[in-house]
Amino acid sequence: MSRLILWVIGRPSGHNDRGLLYTLVDDKGVLYDLRDEAFAGLEKLIEAGKLPSGMEMFIDIMDAWKENGTDILFRKAPHLLIVSALEESAAPMQDCIIALSTFELYARSRGIATIWNGLATLTISQLVPSLQKRLGIPEDHTIGYAMGFGIPAIRYERTINRGAPKVNRVR
């Protein structure tokens, strides 16, 4: 799996900054510890009534975890990749998204499943910021996004038909 990450490093970026930090959690034990810390931090936030407005879905996520061990937060992915960039970079968010999009395409070409994980991203970057320090992501970095990945449990022959995209054709 680490070779996938090495392949992505140095790939396209918005302003050719190449200043991204790829934080890789590829040990299941470490990921399980991270998950436990995330849920503990969320529980404290919820119990203290400090969950930000608009984030109420985390109450249901916590309930599912406490009631039957359902991991909605990390989706049981065995690996996690978080891409961050210096806040002062020309295009930190765009560079992170470009990097993860490139990683996703390459991973899928190698039979690796991926999941864009907005819930983990919110938890690490906003709700339980101690996780950012725990992961070794510098304070002056913007977390672009987190992506879970691993060998898929199920292989689909095709994707969901989402209908035709909206196209604005200028003539």
Asked if residue 102 is part of any domain, the answer here is yes
SS3 readout for 50-97? CCCCCCCHHHHHHHHHHHHCCCCCCCCCCEEEEEEEECCCCCHHHHHH
Secondary structure (3-state) at 145? strand
Cβ-contact 71, 65 below 8 angstroms: yes
Asked if residue 161 is part of any domain, the answer here is no
- Give the separation between CA 145 and CA 139, rounded to whole angstroms: 15
Q: How many CB atoms lie within 10 A of CB 157?
A: 4
In tens digits, the chain (171 residues) has pLDDT values of: 556 555 555 566 666 666 789 999 999 999 999 999 999 999 999 999 999 999 999 999 999 999 999 999 999 899 999 999 999 988 899 999 999 998 999 898 889 999 999 999 999 999 999 999 999 999 999 999 999 999 998 887 777 888 998 999 999
Cβ-contact 36, 72 below 8 angstroms: no
For the record, the structure tokens of 58 come out as 């985390």
- What CATH number has the domain bearing residue 83? 3.40.109.10
Asked if residue 167 is part of any domain, the answer here is no
Domain count, the chain: 1
Asked if residue 155 is part of any domain, the answer here is no
Asked if residue 121 is part of any domain, the answer here is yes
- Residue 10: give the domain boundaries: 2-150
Asked if residue 157 is part of any domain, the answer here is no
Secondary structure (3-state) at 135? coil
**Under 8 Å CB-to-CB from 100, ≥6 apart: which residues?**
81, 83, 116, 144, 145, 147
CA atoms 150, 155, 160, 164: torsion sign: positive
pLDDT tens digits along 63-111:
999 999 999 999 989 999 999 999 998 889 999 999 999 899 989 888 9
- Total-model pTM: 0.87
